[in-house]
């Protein structure tokens, strides 16, 4: 068999050991166009996903992540595939004509059903019904619960999301609202996310929401929570201003906050959005730390996205450190005082084998990943000084905007931009070692 006639099957995995059955090989996605029709009362979703991708190898078979909904029709380059198989978490497609490496091709998937979360080691993730509406929170592997995708953060794409829903409901999705039209008791909402986005950060929020602008953000919330939301998010513009100064310009067209009518276990971030439950607003600024954390993820996690899940400290460490910066800016504990306090908390945890730079899939969201990540950043700041530290952070954000990052890249970048060879030592002690090191104090 000559090389030109050999068969190539795109891997049904992105090769990430943290989520070995998630993601796919053989192609990268450039754009998702999602046209969705949803009925709130019956939780019925019908969709047409048009996926524009580029083959990275010769393909006579490839797969998409998809779970819980029924595929009705698939076209590849306008033609029905030679073979189609829908498994529990995958659509496996054999196109009628082999796709050559480098070819740009289009896949259209028509589907429908009653969406629901997918089970994962981190609980149920993805599409979830509220008492009267919908929340989509997909980190790390729930995007396939509502659209077919290459569900790994290393493959980022632009999006157009169009949703038809009953007129009394507000729909919030990623990006700018570019079109809205109401006819026959239903409203079509069309959003454009023009900056590349990881699949797990794509979201829909549907509810009976009131909305208002703060200046730099837009808030969506149940009318009965208006006072609490007004108080608790009164500082959101100041937070955006602080983080813009420390990290660089806000990376997306808009920032939206959704406060759901239901209680949520934790707040969540999506690209361009922060999502909070009614239990996270008290009218007394009780969630300022959480608000700052989710906002910071727009820079660290959404614009700069990990290439592999083991490096999640690059998301959570920066977001946690942003909490400390915000507290300091409003006259609370200084970042150094927060670092001293949290080092003591981390030190008091019984010793085990957790390594922040490779915590294992079940410990990705362990609090020590967050806190030790922030402590590593504060140690870098202490060694190089404020000017060089924040200049390097801004350059890191600018140079890697809308792309993928790794720990190795962080070390190399910060050593080059600060002129300090101590960065690798700090990262080794805080991120790759089990023992809790001494805190470097300025």
Q: Check residue 2 and give its pLDDT.
A: 42
Q: Tokens for 428?
A: 């080794």
CA 258 to chain centre: 15
Closest-CA residue to 422 (of 337, 390, 430)? 430
Beta-carbon contacts of 288 under 8 Å, excluding residues fewer than 6 positions away, are 232, 235, 326, 327
Q: Tokens for 219?
A: 């808030």
237 burial level (CB within 10 Å; 0-12, 13-18, 19+): middle
Contact 236, 257 (CB under 8 A): yes
Beta-carbon contacts of 286 under 8 Å, excluding residues fewer than 6 positions away, are 232
pTM of the model: 0.96
**Residues lower than pLDDT 50 in the chain:** 1-5
Q: Check residue 4 and give its pLDDT.
A: 46
Sign of CA dihedral 167, 172, 173, 177: positive
Give CA–CA dist 339/345, Å, rounded.
Answer: 10
Contact 134, 265 (CB under 8 A): no
Contact 165, 186 (CB under 8 A): yes
Give CA–CA dist 411/439, Å, rounded.
Answer: 19
Q: Check residue 353 and give its pLDDT.
A: 83
Sign of CA dihedral 414, 238, 293, 131: negative
Q: Check residue 6 and give its pLDDT.
A: 61
Q: Check residue 439 and give its pLDDT.
A: 87
Q: Tokens for 420?
A: 């300090």
Contact 47, 111 (CB under 8 A): yes
Length of the chain, in residues: 442
- The three-point CA angle 239-245-251 to 5° equals 75
Give CA–CA dist 80/201, Å, rounded.
Answer: 30
Closest-CA residue to 229 (of 296, 283, 287, 169)? 283
The tens digit of pLDDT for each residue in 1-21 reads 344 446 688 999 999 999 999
Locate tokens 């084998």: which residue? 353
- The three-point CA angle 247-305-137 to 5° equals 105
Contact 172, 154 (CB under 8 A): no
DSSP string, 79-132: B--SEEEE-SSEEEEE-SSPBPTT-EEEEEEEEEE---PEEETTEEEEEEEETT
**Ramachandran class of 78: left when φ > 0, alpha when ψ lies in -120 to 50, beta otherwise:** left
Q: What is the DSSP letter of 65?
A: E
Closest-CA residue to 230 (of 216, 215, 214)? 214
Write down the number of H helices and E strands in the chain.
Answer: 9, 22
Backbone angles phi, psi at 268, to 5 degrees: -140, 155
Q: Check residue 8 and give its pLDDT.
A: 83
Give CA–CA dist 103/59, Å, rounded.
Answer: 10
Task: List the domains of the chain with CATH numbers.
Answer: 1-202 (2.60.40.1730), 209-298 (3.30.2010.30), 306-430 (1.10.390.10)
Q: Check residue 406 and give its pLDDT.
A: 98
């Amino acid at each position: 068999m000559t090389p030109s006639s050999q068969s190539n099957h795109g891997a049904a995995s992105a090769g990430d050991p943290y989520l070995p059955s998630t993601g796919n090989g053989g192609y990268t996605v450039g754009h998702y166009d999602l046209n969705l029709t949803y009925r709130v009362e019956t939780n019925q979703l019908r969709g047409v996903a048009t996926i524009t991708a580029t083959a990275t190898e010769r393909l006579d078979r490839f797969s998409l992540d998809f779970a819980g909904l029924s595929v009705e029709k698939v076209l590849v380059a306008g033609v029905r595939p030679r073979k189609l198989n829908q498994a529990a978490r995958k659509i496996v497609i054999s196109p009628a004509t082999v796709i050559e490496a480098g070819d740009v091709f289009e896949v259209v998937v028509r589907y429908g059903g009653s969406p629901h979360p997918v089970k994962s080691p981190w609980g149920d993730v993805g599409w979830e019904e509220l008492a009267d509406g919908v929340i989509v929170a997909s980190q790390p592997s729930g995007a396939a619960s509502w659209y077919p995708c290459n569900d790994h953060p290393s493959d980022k794409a632009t999006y157009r999301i169009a949703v038809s829903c009953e007129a009394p409901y507000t729909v919030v999705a990623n990006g700018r609202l570019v079109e809205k039209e109401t006819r026959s008791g239903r409203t079509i909402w069309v959003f454009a996310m023009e900056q590349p986005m990881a699949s797990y950060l794509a979201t829909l929020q549907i509810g009976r929401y009131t909305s208002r602008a703060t200046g730099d953000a837009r808030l969506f919330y149940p009318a009965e929570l208006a006072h609490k939301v007004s108080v608790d998010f009164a500082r959101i513009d100041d937070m955006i201003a602080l983080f813009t100064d420390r990290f660089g310009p806000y990376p997306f067209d808009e920032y939206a906050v959704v406060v759901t009518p239901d209680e949520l276990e934790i707040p969540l971030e999506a690209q361009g959005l922060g999502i909070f439950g009614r239990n996270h607003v008290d009218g007394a600024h009780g969630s300022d730390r959480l608000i700052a954390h989710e906002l910071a993820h727009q820079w660290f996690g959404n614009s700069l996205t990990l290439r592999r899940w083991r490096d999640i400290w690059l998301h959570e460490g920066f977001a946690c450190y942003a909490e400390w910066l915000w507290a300091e800016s409003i006259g609370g504990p200084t970042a150094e005082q927060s670092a001293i306090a949290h080092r003591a908390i981390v030190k008091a945890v019984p010793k085990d084998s957790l390594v922040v730079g490779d915590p294992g899939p079940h410990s990705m969201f362990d609090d020590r990943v967050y806190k030790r990540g922030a402590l590593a950043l504060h140690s870098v700041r202490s060694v190089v000084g404020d000017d060089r530290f924040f200049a390097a952070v801004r350059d890191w954000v600018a140079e890697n905007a809308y792309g993928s990052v790794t720990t190795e890249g962080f070390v190399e970048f910060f050593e080059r931009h600060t002129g300090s060879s101590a960065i690798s030592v700090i990262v080794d002690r805080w991120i790759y070692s089990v023992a809790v090191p001494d805190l470097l104090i300025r």
